[in-house]
Amino acid sequence: MVDATPITKKKKGSKGLPKGITEHRSKKLQARLSYKGEDGKTIQRFIPGLFEDIDAAVAAQAAAYKVLDNDGPLAVWPPVTKPERKKRGEVRASPSPDLHRVLSA
């Protein structure tokens, strides 16, 4: 007789980790938060940092959820200020005018 139990495929990405915890390419763990944005859409973002074990990742995720609920997303992910870049065609000033004279002589 043939066994009647159906063969089930393993779910994609199922490594037995808790919800929101994924394995980083460095083999460490990374925690992700999921929340509703102002427009009602679900937003998923990783919290800063990589963790060695599951307990540390889950604790950091819980702490980040608490900060997110109390203070909002800007408290978890502060805005990053990029250095000001030159516009196309602008040239930065020479560090020393004497250096140019020495090199051209």
Q: pLDDT digit string (tens) for 34-92? A: 999 889 999 999 998 999 999 999 999 999 999 999 998 889 888 888 888 888 888 76
90/82 Cα distance (integer angstroms): 18
pTM for this entry: 0.63
**Structure confidence at residue 13 (pLDDT):** 59
pLDDT band at 105 (very low <50, low <70, confident <90, very high): low
Q: Where are the alpha helices (DSSP H) in the chain?
A: 54-71, 73-76, 97-104
The answer to whether residue 3 scores a pLDDT higher than 80 is no
- In the chain, where are the structural domains located? 21-76
